[in-house]
């Protein structure tokens, strides 16, 4: 049985080869000078209303790809753009193991506690265990989503919207599911997780439930429908991460909408317009997200109506949020992790790192909040 596990670059890829820059912030122009770039909100002094202390720090190489930190149990898998992969003890920050693949990475790192999987820029998926390479396989298309490792299998969502399953120990290809291509896809982490015995994957603007044994599609639910007059305007890929409560999965379609789906039945519960480029997190009451302009929004989980909005972090190039106790933690372009109240979005604390952008959505492992920077710093905090 599959068990659930899982800052990206705002770019799009024209299949199979051409790469285009997508304007992720309102007012940006793809061509010409365009309007002046909005200035990021200045950070105001903060009174720490939630205690948090840094408990450890370590390093990996520079992170210049859409890293996802793979969490399983008390371990967290991280990787650098040059191909260094490490499995860390989340409580101490010490290496469980570390390996230099010496090849640039495009996606990673998936982790089930035993096997860690990454994707190279040469379109290879590489599986690692115990600090050594288990196997590698060539992919038919580049992947920008970390492989999903679960149930002794490794699943890959590729840029051509194919999903492929491999045996976790041998790398033998088990099955592949190919959906119709669309002209552009995001060079950004997509959606892949398990809900019960269903592999849930983001395919364009839809959540799809797949049989993990055969790859057959059990259901599809639209979070967004492509609209507009050109390929960029029609781009509605689902972006990771997602908010899951029991069987309900809430996801974001790039610069289009957020919505929730019952993944046991495959039916859409609600969808609301939203203009964000990062994923979501949530609790049993709210779904939290950061918009492209830096507004942070809480939607009611039951019906999608807005519960609160705050603009104190506008234009600070935010990560997706992660729920941490009474807070949500959000990283920004200057290396701060902001702790906002889940109740109203008020600022509760601000945690510094090395001054480079937070490269991946922070993750909570036990009672440790872990943030990775583009400069390669890895920081463990213990918030209240």
* Average pLDDT of the chain to the nearest whole number: 90
pTM: 0.90
The pLDDT score that the predictor gives to residue 34 is: 58
Q: Which two tokens stand for residue 235?
A: 């781009």
Residue 299 lies in a domain: no
For the chain, the domain total comes to 1
376: pLDDT confidence band, cut at 50, 70 and 90? very high
Domain that holds residue 70: 61-181
Check whether 18 has a pLDDT greater than 70.
Answer: no
Residue 128 lies in a domain: yes
Q: What is the CATH number of the domain that holds 135?
A: 2.40.128.630
Residue 308 lies in a domain: no
Residue 96 lies in a domain: yes
Residues of the chain with pLDDT > 70: what percent? Answer: 88
The pLDDT score that the predictor gives to residue 179 is: 75
Residue 176 lies in a domain: yes
Residue 281 lies in a domain: no
The per-residue DSSP string of 62-95 comes to ---S-B--EEETTEEEEE-TTSEEEEEETTT--E
Residue 92 lies in a domain: yes
Check whether 286 has a pLDDT greater than 50.
Answer: yes
The pLDDT score that the predictor gives to residue 31 is: 36
The pLDDT tens digits for 23-65 are 333 333 333 455 678 999 999 899 999 999 999 999 999 999 9
The pLDDT tens digits for 226-265 are 776 666 766 789 999 999 999 999 999 999 999 999 999 9
- Specify the 3-state DSSP secondary structure of 345: coil
Cα(322)–Cα(324) distance, rounded to whole angstroms? Answer: 6
The pLDDT score that the predictor gives to residue 23 is: 32
Residue 124 lies in a domain: yes
The pLDDT tens digits for 327-342 are 999 999 999 999 999 9
């Amino acid at each position: 049985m599959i068990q659930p596990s899982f800052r990206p670059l705002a770019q799009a890829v024209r299949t199979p080869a051409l790469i285009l820059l997508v304007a992720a912030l309102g007012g940006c122009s793809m061509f010409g000078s365009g309007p002046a770039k909005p200035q990021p909100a200045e950070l105001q002094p903060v009174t720490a209303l939630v205690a948090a202390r840094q408990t450890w720090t370590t390093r990996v190489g520079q992170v210049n790809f859409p890293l996802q930190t793979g969490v399983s149990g008390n371990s967290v898998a991280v990787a650098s753009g040059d191909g260094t992969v490490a499995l860390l003890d989340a409580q101490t920050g010490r290496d469980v193991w570390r390996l230099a693949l010496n090849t640039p990475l495009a996606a990673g790192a998936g982790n089930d506690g035993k096997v860690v999987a990454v994707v190279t820029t040469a379109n290879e998926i590489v599986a690692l265990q115990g600090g050594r390479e288990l196997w590698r396989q060539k992919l038919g298309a580049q992947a920008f989503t970390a492989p999903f490792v679960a149930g002794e299998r490794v699943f890959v969502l590729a840029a051509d919207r194919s999903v492929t399953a491999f045996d976790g120990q041998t790398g033998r290809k088990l099955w592949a599911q190919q959906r119709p291509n669309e002209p552009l896809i995001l060079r950004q982490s997509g959606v892949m997780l398990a809900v019960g015995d269903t592999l849930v994957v983001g395919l364009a603007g839809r959540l799809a439930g797949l049989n993990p044994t055969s790859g057959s599609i059990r259901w599809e639910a639209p979070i967004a429908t492509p609209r507009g007059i050109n390929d960029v305007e029609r781009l509605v890929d689902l972006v990771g991460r997602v908010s899951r409560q029991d069987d309900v999965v809430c996801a974001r379609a790039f610069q289009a909408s957020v919505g929730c789906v019952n993944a046991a039945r495959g039916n859409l519960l609600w969808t609301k317009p939203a203009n964000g480029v990062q994923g979501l997190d949530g609790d049993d009451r709210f779904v939290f997200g950061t918009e492209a302009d830096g507004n942070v929004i809480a939607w009611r989980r039951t019906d999608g109506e807005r519960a609160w909005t705050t603009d104190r972090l506008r234009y600070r190039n935010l990560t997706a949020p992660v729920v941490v106790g009474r807070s949500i933690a959000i990283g920004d372009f200057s290396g701060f992790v902001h702790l906002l109240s889940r109740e109203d979005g008020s600022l509760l604390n601000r945690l510094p790192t090395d001054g480079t952008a937070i490269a991946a959505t922070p993750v909570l492992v036990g009672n440790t909040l872990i943030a990775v920077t583009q400069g390669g710093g890895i920081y463990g905090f213990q918030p209240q």
